[in-house]
Amino acid sequence: MACWSQPIFSSNGKVLGTFAMYYNEVREPTDDELSFIHGTANLAGIAIEAHEKEKALFTAVNNAEKASQAKS
């Protein structure tokens, strides 16, 4: 069995998680597989950051609406 993994980093270098690939046989990754692993981890980092920003924006809008309703 083989497993290769790559950390998922944010744009500021924070580790957000890990992307891993598993195989039922013992072997080393090909250059294409290494490229795929690195690219996928990078894309996952972008997606995770975008999701976190979307959640923060939703929370901020929700809090602003609550504050506005409280003033009314």
Number of domains in the chain: 1
The confidence score (pLDDT) of residue 39 equals: 97
- The Cα 24–Cα 40 span in angstroms is 21
Sign of CA dihedral 43, 44, 46, 50: positive
What are the backbone dihedrals phi and psi of residue 19, each rounded to the nearest 5 degrees, phi first?
-105, 130
- The domain of 21 spans 2-71
The confidence score (pLDDT) of residue 15 equals: 97
The SS3 call for residue 14 is coil
pLDDT tens-digit profile, the chain (72 residues) = 999 999 999 999 999 999 999 999 999 999 999 999 999 999 999 999 999 999 999 999 999 999 888 887
Residue 45: name the closest of 12, 9, 6 by CA: 9
Per the CB < 8 A criterion, the answer to whether 33 and 21 are in contact is yes
The pTM of the full predicted model, rounded to 2 decimals, is: 0.78
